């Protein structure tokens, strides 16, 4: 039994599904960013559900975030039911052409990882953006991922470097999730995501291409060498970091209760406010306190990261 299967079994008392079931959806790919913090205009998702299958993911615990079939009664379907949206590229092109994205801040995406989508699709989205007249381009695209956006580094850079938002911030920001440097935790908690070394490689490649990256240490797990990772981020010219501890009983985006119970049993320090404060202090020993952002303020900063930087 794999480490992931063992945790899945502890959470749901079920065997892990054998396969990911892919279906289709006619749902819109772009929606107004209702309920988000100020600064975001639109959200974009090219699929419903997320094949990464992170067992801590907050999405299945929010009944309005995803349809019941994607999550199952307990959250047991999350990661194993995915619907790819139809005509993603023609719809995106139509939104661009209709000037609906012009000067907008777009979050791509908090409820399904954009880089868990087919490579041909993300590549084509950047190509459509590159081909769009400057006046039709968004002010900012915030790519939220824990996969390998560096597969598109050349195209993202070509787009970002040919676009000058009127608020003088970057045209593209990659908010890169990297919550632990323990590969065994990544293997146990995330079904299909890159390990730590690959994530560092992704960040490095993006930075070498001149793309703005804000690492988000989220959800914050155990670290062998937290200071070493942050020093590396600084060496890559990353201006600040964000972080989010596992969350229970807060207003939004709570960690699923079954995963919280598992942490209580296996890794109680991750929920301990005293331990969390120590970790924050450690982060602040590398980045100054004003550059270690947390929670809602951290998320809001992505809409205009130049204000922090």
Residue choice 11, 30, 44, 59 for contact with ligand SF4 (CB under 6 A): 59
* Closest by CA position to 107, among listed 308, 241, 250, 299: 299
For ligand SF4, the binding residues in 182-221 under the rule CB under 6 A are none
Q: How many Å is the Cα radius of gyration of the chain?
A: 19
Find out whether 247 and 57 touch, Cβ atoms under 8 Å: no
Query: Stretches 46-54, 80-88, 281-289, 294-302: which one binds ligand SF4 (CB under 6 A)?
Result: 46-54
CA distances from 68 to 74, 218, 224, 255 (A): 10, 25, 37, 17
Instruction: Please say which residue, 79 or 165, places its beta carbon nearer to ligand SF4.
Output: 79
Sheet strand arrangement including 241-243: 30-32, 42-44, 105-108, 140-145, 172-177, 212-217, 241-243, 292-294
Which three-class secondary structure string do you get for 10-40? HHHCCCCCCCCEEEEECCCCEEECCCCCCCC
50 binds ligand SF4 (CB under 6 A): yes
Please tell me whether residue 296 adopts helix, strand or coil conformation: helix
CB of 80 to ligand SF4, least distance (A): 11
CB of 137 to ligand SF4, least distance (A): 26
Distance CA 65, CA 45 (A): 12
Residue 251 Cβ vs ligand SF4, minimum distance, rounded to whole Å: 19
Q: Quick check: 146 binds ligand SF4 (CB under 6 A)?
A: yes
Nearer residue to ligand SF4 within complex by CB, 57 or 303: 57
Residue of 33, 42, 57, 156 that binds ligand SF4 (CB under 6 A)? 57
Question: Minimum Å distance from CB 57 to ligand SF4?
Answer: 3
> For ligand SF4, which stretch binds (CB under 6 A), given 34-42, 47-55, 206-214, 228-236?
47-55
Show the site string, 71-110: x = touches ligand SF4 by CB under 6 A, - = not: --------x-------------------------------
> How many residues of this chain bind ligand SF4 (CB under 6 A)?
11
Secondary structure percentages of the chain, helix, strand, coil, to 5: 40, 15, 45
Other beta carbons less than 10 A from residue 251's beta carbon: 7
Q: Which of 43, 66, 112, 180 binds ligand SF4 (CB under 6 A)?
A: 112
Identify any residues that bridge with 221 across adjacent strands, giving them in sequence order: none
Residues within the interface to ligand SF4 (CB under 6 A)? 50, 52-54, 57, 59, 79, 111-113, 146
């Amino acid at each position: 039994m794999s480490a992931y299967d063992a945790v899945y079994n502890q959470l749901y008392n079920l065997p892990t599904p054998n396969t990911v079931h892919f279906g289709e959806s006619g749902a819109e790919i772009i929606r107004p960013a209702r309920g988000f913090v100020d600064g975001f205009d639109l959200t974009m998702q090219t699929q419903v559900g997320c094949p990464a299958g992170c067992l801590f993911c907050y999405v299945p615990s929010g009944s309005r975030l995803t349809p019941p079939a994607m999550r199952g009664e307990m959250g047991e379907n999350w990661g194993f039911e995915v619907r790819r949206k139809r005509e993603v590229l023609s719809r995106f092109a139509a939104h661009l052409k209709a000037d609906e994205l012009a000067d907008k801040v777009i979050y791509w995406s908090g409820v399904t990882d954009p880089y868990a989508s087919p490579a041909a699709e993300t590549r084509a989205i950047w190509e459509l953006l590159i081909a769009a007249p400057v006046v039709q381009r968004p002010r900012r695209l915030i790519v939220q991922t824990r996969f390998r956006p560096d597969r598109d580094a050349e195209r993202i850079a070509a787009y970002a470097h040919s676009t000058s938002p009127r608020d003088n911030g970057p045209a593209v920001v990659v908010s890169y999730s990297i919550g632990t440097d323990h590969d065994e935790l990544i293997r146990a908690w995330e079904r299909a995501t890159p390990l730590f070394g690959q994530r560092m490689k992704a960040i490095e490649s993006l930075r070498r291409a001149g793309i703005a990256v804000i690492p988000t240490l989220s959800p914050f797990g155990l670290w062998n060498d937290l200071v070493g990772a942050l020093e590396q981020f600084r060496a890559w010219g990353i201006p600040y970091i964000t972080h989010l501890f596992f969350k229970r009983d807060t207003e939004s985006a709570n960690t699923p209760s079954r995963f919280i119970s598992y942490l209580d049993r296996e890794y109680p320090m991750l929920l301990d406010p005293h331990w969390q404060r120590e970790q924050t202090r450690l982060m602040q020993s590398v980045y100054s306190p004003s550059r270690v952002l947390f929670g809602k303020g951290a998320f809001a900063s992505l809409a205009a990261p130049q204000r922090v930087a």
